[in-house]
A and B are shown apart, each in its own frame.
Chain A
Amino acid sequence: MISSLHLVLAAILAWLAIGVIGLARPRNIRFVARVLFSASAAVGLGLAGVALSSIGNAVQGLVLPLGLPDLPFHLRLDALSSFFLLLLGAASAGISVFSAGYFRPSEGAAPGLVSLQYHTFLAAMALVLVADDAYLFMVAWETMALASFFLVITDHRLPEIRRAGFLYLLIAHVGAIMILLCFGVLQGGDYTFDSMRLANRSAAWSSVAFLLALAGFGAKAGLLPLHVWLPEAHPAAPSPVSALMSGVMLKTAIYGLLRVTFDLLDGQLWWWWGVLALVLGLATALFGVLFATVQTDMKRLLAYSSIENIGIIVAGIGLAILFRSYDKPLLAAIALTATLYHALNHAFFKSLLFLATGSVLHSTKERSLGKLGGLIHRMPWVAWLALAGTLACAGLPPLNGFVSEWLLLQAFLFTPTLPQSFVNMLVPLAAAALVLAAALAAYVMVKFYGVVFLGRPREPNLAYAHDAGRFERVALCWFAAGCLMLGLFPVQVIALIDSVNVLLLASQVSRPGVSWWLLAPIDADRASYSPVIVLVVTVVVLLLTIQIVHRHYHGRLRKGPVWDCGFPAQTPRMQDTAEGFGQPIRQIFEQFFRIERVLPTPFDAEPRYFVKAEDHFWYWLYGPIARAAEWAARQIGRIQQGRISVYLTYSFFTLLALLYFVR
């Protein structure tokens, strides 16, 4: 009898096999890219299908006699794993199709090697999601971190890319240590998750475990203040890898946090955990979106936007913990649904946007917003499909980003009176912060889209930009369609997510008897939203208006030069720049940035204006820690003399001390 878990294992093995086969002819681009990556996309699609069919099934377990003797690997497939496997499969299918057209000959590392790392990365992520013991989880987690590290430094000849890779590896390991400690605290006599579920812990140890999990998984997800690797590593990696890291890998951290909090620590949640996660998440969201507004590199901008979305997701988890700790299962289910929905949405729209930047990068060799512009004329496919991602990321109806934010706001609004008056006051303030972050996200997205795709080309060589190839188009279409479908059919998506709610919270959002087109989580008379009607009515009115206008009035239309208040001699350099677009935000929120500004004097022959907005955390947190570490290393270095007699003396004294203590 073949269960879904066997099929998931088969998919993991297939990915590993595809990676290894690529080594046979590593430099053959046609074989590695077109054939292997297409096969990998098919595997991803299959995995998504398996996950989709198994999400409502009973929990499945499996013990693999692998690993160390007497320490077998435990696997488990439940609704939570299935949901994230669905996310992984669906997103990786699109990204693999894109990669099939993306890798070109003579660009850095051999494609076969990249393919091996890429597929190891995919397999490791899938393994993280089905691991049911701490041992396998950590092995898979570390494999994932290392594979992605090698992918980030694909262009390792550039020093700044090696630097970004090092930073990523460092923070990934700080996080991994905390996760390991967290499992150590959780253990119930055994390394399996089952023993952790049953273990008895004091409240203090539970809290320690939760804090370690929040910090450890937060490091991977990009939570404040461990977010610094994201804006460095995402631009360094090739675009499909950025999409995979931002769209999928960050979600494995969310999965881990959910697994530890709602599964392993189940029944012992404290309200202040929720408050902590909520505040930290919202701080991250606001921080991320503020920094996104002032970026001038399109991939850095998207990386900061990912930080914002992770913040929103963690805030949703915090809200779910809060409601769960006060025993409000329906509200907790709404908050958790919003969280998972947003994770899925983010996987789609952020992958779409990162892949679109990949196409732009390929065609123009330019990542800086100051040297792009007007690409909608040269790259219509990419531009129009990216518009869907832009609107979704800005949280606008009827696309998907709006639905999850809507749900989260509903969870905030329908908070009944909680026993803690402090929390009662906090929830509306948190809603205000969330709304502010969402509104700023629209600002960021208008900046991104307007500067890259609209306006006039800022550099002459942009006139030779070409549209994306066939594979890239298919991938972008897949994600754009996903954004639209996830936005239009929330009821069906929530029905899927409800299996997770039933598993983790023993509650569900979907109610029988509600129409398929109307999203009404509480009561149709209190709150409802129907994206299908919004879209249909808007489109009908739009077509009707066009029809009426064109029938009753003449269609005479003349093309002419731009008017611009009659101002002659317009040049593309007179358009707003990325720096300019971020300027109002930089001015209002000046305290949040560390600003370095170089202004020209009137006597400069070549006046240069330069402004750089940096992160305070570098100087307040990372600088001191790095200096302290260096100082400590130097002090320890003093005892290193390089003479064998000195080392023998050290050994002698160590032996004496040991003899004294052990005796």
Chain B
Amino acid sequence: MSASAFLSQLLQLAIALLLAPLLLGWVNQCRAWLQNKSAPSLLLPYRTIRKLFHKDAVVAENASPVFRITPYVVFSAMALAAAIVPSIATDLPFAHAADAIALVGLFALARVFIALAAMDLGTAFGSIGARREMFVGFLAEPALLMVLFTASLISGATLLPTIVETLAHRDIAIYPSLAFAGVAFTMVSLAENARIPVDNPATHLELTMIHEAMILEYSARHLALIEWASALKLFNYSCIGIALFLPFGIAQGSTDWTAILGAVPVLIGKLAMGGFALALIETVSAKMRLFRAPEFLGTAFLLAVLAMLVNLLLGS
């Protein structure tokens, strides 16, 4: 482990922390364009976070320490995940700490904590939000793992940098297993990031909200951290998608600083495309009833399993 590897690790973490709100702003802007609305500023998420950090926090009287520690736990878990997913370089010292399975475990840790915090105050909305979040989670998590397993079967590794290195060196062609896995991954990412058609990030309508229902009681700096963590989660999922399906341009090795610095604009370009695609999906689809979500995620799960079987049958 060289100092240079550590530097690229820190650079990647810093980029993730700084760019994550921008990605959210970009998605919102694209969606506004597509829906013929006047777009909010690209920098609005930064301003929101800044504003929230300056406010006085209000905490409910019967809140336990679980409630107050959760924003920090969720944020740290997401930051660690951002350090692990190779977005600009593959020679990352922290990447060995957690492979794809452990990464999913890290996401699950964040989800369990936020669900527990939602149940902590004993409000009707909080607990129903927690129930729905766990409900979506238990369907989405296996599907996500199956997608990652498909990539691991192809590359013979569960470590994300190795997967990226293997996949990036293959010829550009459409691989049937990866195509199935890609569709499944898109569906899972929509569900996990509380996006249409499973959840709506812009609503506070009682009957439909999932993620928003859980964080209703948070205010000020706690809310800021949770919002930032949500943005980081979207960023992480996008980076996992890029690593699995568009792994070209990620720097391999830690000494070649032109490659590492050159990977940054490539990453921004890919994220911009991904964000636009997300806005497009959200514009053309409608939110589903909650009990349609199992069908949606069940389809994703089956597609991912199919991807694994296709990979075993065809060897590609």
Using CB atoms and an 8 Å cutoff, list the residues of chain A in contact with chain B: 373-374, 376-377, 387, 391, 394-397, 402, 406, 409-410, 413-414, 424-425, 428-429, 431-432, 435-436, 439-440, 442-443, 445-447, 449-451, 454-456, 518, 520, 523-530, 533-534, 537-539, 541-542, 545-546, 549, 552-554, 556-565, 567, 570, 572, 574-576, 580-581, 583-585, 587-588
Contact = CB atoms under 8 A, between A and B. Distances in A.
A533 B94 contact: yes
B199 interface: no
15 contacts: A377-B62, A397-B105, A409-B145, A435-B145, A442-B138, A455-B120, A527-B99, A533-B97, A553-B221, A562-B122, A574-B123, A575-B119, A576-B127, A584-B132, A584-B291
Contact of B119 (A409, A454, A539, A545): A454
A529 B124 CA distance: 39
A584 B94 CA distance: 38
Contacts of A436: 138, 142, 301
B10 interface: no
B10 to A, nearest CB: 12
A516 B316 CA distance: 36
B287 interface: no
Interface string B87-117: 0000000101111011001101101100110
Contact of B149 (A431, A526, A575): A431
B309 A442 contact: no
A428 B59 contact: no
Q: What bracket does the count of chain B residues touching chain A fall in? A: 35 or more
B237 interface: no
A425 B314 CA distance: 12
Contacts of B124: 564, 567, 570, 574-576
A456 B122 contact: yes
A455 B109 contact: no
A406 B101 contact: yes
Nearest to B302: A432
Contacts of A576: 119, 124, 127-128, 130-131
Given A440-B138, A575-B122, A391 B60 contact: no
Nearest to A525: B162
A432 B301 contact: yes
Nearest to A588: B294
Contacts of A560: 58-61
Given A527-B99, A537-B94, A564-B217, A374 B62 contact: yes
Interface string B281-316: 000000000010010000001000100110010000
Given A534-B97, A537-B80, A581-B131, A527 B145 contact: no
A456 B132 CA distance: 20
B182 interface: no
A454 B157 contact: no
A387 to B, nearest CB: 8
A539 B109 CA distance: 14
A428 B180 CA distance: 15
B32 interface: no
Contacts of A534: 80, 97-98, 102, 106
Given A396-B109, A520-B96, A538-B80, 19 more contacts: A414-B156, A431-B146, A432-B305, A436-B142, A442-B112, A443-B138, A454-B122, A518-B96, A528-B159, A537-B83, A545-B75, A546-B72, A557-B56, A559-B61, A564-B126, A572-B122, A574-B124, A576-B119, A581-B127
Given A428-B305, A534-B102, A549 B206 contact: no
A537 B95 CA distance: 12
B156 A526 contact: yes
Contacts of B130: 446, 450, 576
Contacts of B98: 397, 529-530, 533-534
B34 interface: no
B305 A442 contact: no
Nearest to A414: B156
Given A560-B61, A562-B60, A442 B221 contact: no
A413 B158 contact: yes
A377 B64 contact: yes
Contacts of A581: 127, 131
A185 B279 CA distance: 67
Contacts of B105: 395-397, 402, 406
Nearest to B68: A557
A167 B126 CA distance: 41
Query: Which 9 pairs show the lowest CB-CB distances between chains A and B?
Result: A576-B127, A456-B122, A455-B122, A450-B119, A533-B97, A526-B157, A541-B76, A564-B123, A435-B142
A579 to B, nearest CB: 11
Given A526-B157, A560-B58, A575 B109 contact: no
Nearest to A552: B53
B309 A425 contact: yes
Contact of B127 (A391, A442, A450, A545): A450
B60 A454 contact: no
Contacts of A377: 62, 64
A558 B72 contact: no
A545 B225 contact: yes
B153 interface: yes
Interface in B141-155: 141-142, 145-146, 149, 152-153
Contact of A526 (B94, B120, B162, B217): B162
B235 interface: no
* Most chain A Cβ neighbours within 10 Å, of B124, B131, B138: B138
A394 B112 contact: yes
A556 B122 contact: no
A397 B101 CA distance: 10
